[in-house]
Structure 1
Amino acid sequence: MVLLFLVMGFGFSGYLLPWNKLAFFATTVGTQMAGEIPIIGHPIMIFLRGGPQVTGATLTRFFGFHVAVLPGLVVVLIAIHLFLVQRQGMSVPPQVEAKWAANPALRREMKFFPNFLLRELMAWYVAIGTLGALAALFPWNLGVKADPFASAPAGIKPEWYFLFMYQTLKLIPAKVWFVDGEVLGIVGCALIGLFWLLLPFFESDRPVRTRVWITGLAIFALAYVIGMTAYGYLAK
């Protein structure tokens, strides 16, 4: 889950780097959403922007996040992940563990070096080659240079990986009792993300019926994200 959040951070920080009109206003809206978080929101917004407004300092800061801070964190987390896999093995369903306990001959193992490492390198080669081919065949224009004094483009939307959250916030009323709808939506999304982040630490000891409910909630959440993303993409 932490790696997923870091990948989303890559998308958010890299979106500003072309410094075009769409990137400027999308980053302004995104950092403003972070500023709506109660108590800690305003300091987070100032930290992300490097000041009260999105300026050249924000661009420099996001570039540092994108090419130095986030890659460093990803490398550290992947190293920790590989270390834990080597020490504790891969996680498998309880049914598979029961079969292995009954018949140890069914358990298949692979050495990290060279077998697993070579497989991973081949996957990386394919991914980098595909990315390079897409960049060469479908180059992306930088667009119109950002102008802080210009009006926001009509129908501006975030990229697809944030579209479900954007569409959810649009559907929440402006006021829910005495709470701002935008604040309620942002805090709700943050709490849901925190729940899924902490779930592996207490889920394994739960009864089977509870695990079934959690699996059902996960399927519902995935369907909701896909559905709201499609709805946001098709909505005008």
Structure 2
Amino acid sequence: MIKSKLFAVISSVGLIFLAIVLISGDHNDAPSLRGTKADIADFYAFQAPDSDKLVLVLNLQGLIPAGLPTEQAEFDENVLMEFNIDLNNDLKEDVLIQAIKRRDSMYFFGPFQTNETGLESTINTEIMHKVKISTKEDVFITEENGMKFFAGPREDPFFFDQTQFDAYLAGNAKGGFTDPGTDTYAGTNVLSIVVEVPKAMLGTPVSNVNPFAPGTPTYNMWVETKRKIQ
């Protein structure tokens, strides 16, 4: 099983700004995954305009050039994408939301409780949502049971100054990073899957995890891609 993961923590309620938005980027993945359709670029988790909901974003296949390459980019039907939610701070998934492509649609499953951890996953087809995969011209969003779903190309939102970063590592950036710097990823695209989910559907998170807000219930969250073994 070829697997890619990004890990992060997010508070379940926006009591402090530190807990409202989580951003995690990984555009230079392991050699076995880099440039493949299982390559994770970004993971975002933040509170929705409705404070009772969270928005989860998994971006794949970073650095897709604009134009025809974006139009030709597609999700892989053999790659399962997962949002993992840990409720008790044991760093093992308690709740899953899964997504996988079938023909011109993305099928989402969950959220559902799981005892299955590790490299292998079973798709839970009992809680299923379907959304047609969007194109550059046509955007499709499905709304069911208080949840919203999207799948399709988007401009890469992650800001990173690769040139200055490389110069810093080489000891040639005496002034450090500039403000605002040059966005290396500007004009490039990703394939995104987005879920807006009521917090109540995820279960009750644990407190005393975030040292800056120990009384705030907190989710541990990470995303994975898992490729089907032929």
User: Shorter-normalised TM-score: what interval?
Assistant: under 0.3
* Structure of higher CA gyration radius: 1
Decide which structure has greater strand share: 2
Structure showing the higher helix proportion among its residues: 1
The higher relative CO (CA closer than 8 Å, separation ≥ 6) is in 2
TM-score (norm 1): 0.22
